[in-house]
A and B are shown apart, each in its own frame.
Chain A
Amino acid sequence: MLLDVRNLSVEYVTPKGPAYAVNDVSFSLKKGGRLGLVGESGSGKSTTVLALMRLLRGGRIEADGIDLDGRELTGLSDPAYRKLRFADMAMVPQGAMSSLNPVLRISEQMGDIFDDHGVRHGRSERRAILGDLLERVGLSANVQDRYPHELSGGMKQRVCIAMAIALGPDLILADEPTSALDVMVQKQVLATLGRVQRELGAGILLIGHDMALMAHFVDDLGVMYAGRLVETGPVRRLFAKPRHPYTKMLIDSLPSFERRGTFKGIPGVGPSLLTQLEGCPFHPRCPMATDICRSKRPDPRPVDAEEPRHLAACHLAEELS
Chain B
Amino acid sequence: MYFDYVLRRFLVMLLVIFLAVTINFALPRMMPGDPIESQLSQLLAQGGGSVGDVGAMVAAYREKFGLDQPVLHQYFNYWGALFRLDLGFSLASYPERVGAAILAGLPWTLGLLGFATLVSFTVGTLLGGLIAWPKASRLWRGPGAVVLLLSSVPYFLIGMVLLYFFAVVWRIFPAGGGLPYGTSPSFDWATVKGILWHGTLPAASIILAETGAWAVGMRGMLVSTLGEDHIALAEAKGLKDKRIFRRYGMRSAMLPQLTKLALTLGHIVSGAILVEVIFSYPGIGFRLYQAIQAKDYFVVQGIVVFLSISLALATFILDLIYPLIDPRISARRRG
* A residues adjacent to B (C-beta < 8 A): 53, 55, 82-87, 90-91, 93, 95, 98-104, 108, 112-113, 115-117, 147, 149-150, 160, 163
Per a CB cutoff under 8 Å, which of A55, A104, A149 touches B235? A55
Complex contact B247–A91 (CB within 8 A): no
Give Cα distance in the complex from A163 to B326, angstroms: 23
Contact A82 B252 (CB under 8 A): no
**Contact (Cβ within 8 A) A149 B328:** yes
B236 & A86 in contact (Cβ 8 Å cutoff): yes
Interface residues of B in 213-272 (CB under 8 A from A): 228-230, 232-240, 243, 247-248, 251-252, 255
Residue pair B232, A93 in contact (C-beta under 8 Å): yes
Instruction: Indicate if the CB atoms of B238 and A101 lie closer than 8 Å.
Output: no
Q: Which of B232, B233, B243, B252 contacts A116 (CB 8 A)?
A: B243
Interchain CA distance A100-B328 in the complex, whole Å:
13
Q: Give 1 or 0 for each of B318-335: 1 = CB within 8 Å of chain A CB.
A: 000000001110010000
8 shortest interchain CB distances as A-B pairs? A85-B238, A98-B229, A101-B230, A147-B327, A91-B236, A99-B233, A95-B229, A116-B239
Query: Does B239 contact A112, Cβ atoms closer than 8 Å?
Result: yes
**Structural contact, B240 and A82, CB atoms closer than 8 A:** yes
Q: Is the CB of A102 within 8 A of B239?
A: no
Q: Would you call B235 and A117 a contact (CB within 8 A)?
A: no
- Please give, as numbers and ranges, the residues of chain B lying within 8 Å of A86 by CB-CB distance: 236-238
Given A103-B251, A103-B255: A116 touches B238 (CB 8 Å cut-off): yes
| CB nearest neighbor in B for A110 | B237
CB of B238 within 8 A of CB of A84, answer yes
B229 surroundings in chain A (CB, below 8 A): 93, 95, 98-99
Determine the distance from Cα of A91 to Cα of B228 in the docked complex, in whole angstroms: 16
Distance (Å) between the CB of B163 and the closest chain A CB?
43
A113 touches B252 (CB 8 A): no
A residues in contact with B331, CB < 8 Å? 149-150
Chain B, residue nearest A175 (CB) = B236
Q: Inside 8 A of B228's CB, which chain A residues have their CB? A: 98
Q: A93-B232, A95-B229 are in contact. Are A87 and B238 (CB under 8 A)?
A: yes
A236 to chain B, nearest CB (A): 32
- Look across to chain A and name the residue whose beta carbon is closest to the beta carbon of B326: A103
Q: Tell me if B230 and A100 are in contact (CB < 8 A).
A: yes
Query: Chain A nearest CB: distance from B294 CB in Å?
Result: 50
Name the residue of chain B whose CB is nearest to the CB of A166.
B237
Which residues from A are CB-within-8-Å of B236? Answer: 53, 55, 85-86, 90-91, 93
**25 CB < 8 A contacts A-B:** A55-B232, A55-B236, A82-B238, A85-B235, A85-B238, A86-B238, A87-B238, A90-B236, A93-B232, A93-B233, A98-B228, A99-B229, A99-B230, A99-B232, A100-B230, A101-B248, A102-B230, A103-B255, A103-B327, A104-B251, A112-B247, A116-B238, A116-B239, A150-B331, A160-B233
Give complex CA distance A104, B254 in Å: 13
Contact A98 B230, beta carbon cutoff 8 Å: yes
Q: Which residues of A contact B243 (CB under 8 A)?
A: 112, 115-116
Contact at B230–A113, with CB atoms within 8 Å? no
Instruction: List B contacts of A83 (CB < 8 A).
Output: 238
Does B240 contact A103, Cβ atoms closer than 8 Å? no
